[in-house]
Structure 1
Amino acid sequence: MKRRFLEYASLTLCTIFTFIGAASVEQLLPSNGHQAWHSHRVLAQTAEEKEANIVCEKGSNAVVTIKDGNGHGSGFLVSQDGLIITNAHVVDGSPSVVTVVFKDGKQVPADVVGFAMGGVDLAAVKIQNRKNLPAISLARPGSVKVGYRVFAIGTPLDPDNRDTCTQGNVSRIRKDGEIQHTASTNPGNSGGPLLNSQGEVIGVNSLVATAPVFDGAGDLVARTPSGTGINLALSVEKVKSFLADVRNQRVSNESTLPREKEPTFTTILLNGQVINGSLAEGDRIRKKGGFVNLYQFQGRAGQKVVIEMTSQKINSFLSLYQVSESSEGKEFNEIAENDDRGPGDFNAQIEINLPADGLYFIVASSLEPGETGSYSLRATNQP
Structure 2
Amino acid sequence: MKEQDQQQPDPRWGQNYFGVPAGDRPASFDQEFGTHSQSDNDRLAQPEQAANAAVETRRAPKKIGLGSALALMLVGSIVTGGVVGIGATQLTKSSNVVSTLEQPSVPSQNNADQAGSVEHVAAAVLPAVVSIQTANAEGSGSIISSDGLVLTNHHVAAPGERSGLQVTLNDGSTHPADFVASDAATDIAIIKIRDVSNLPVLEFGDSSSLVVGQEVVAVGAPLGLNSTVTSGIVSAMNRPVRASQDGGESSLIDGIQTDAAINPGNSGGPLVDMQGHLVGMNSVIASLSQNSSSQSGSIGLGFAIPSNFAKRVADQLVKTGKASQPMLAVSVSYQSPVQGALIAGVQKGGAGDRAGLKAGDVVTQLDDRRIDSADALIAAVRSHNFGETITLKVTDERGQNERTVEATLSND
For normalisation by structure 1, the TM-score amounts to 0.49
Higher RCO (CA 8 Å, separation ≥ 6 residues)? 2
Tell which structure's C-alpha radius of gyration is larger.
1
TM-score (norm 2): 0.46
**Which protein is richer in strand relative to its size?**
1
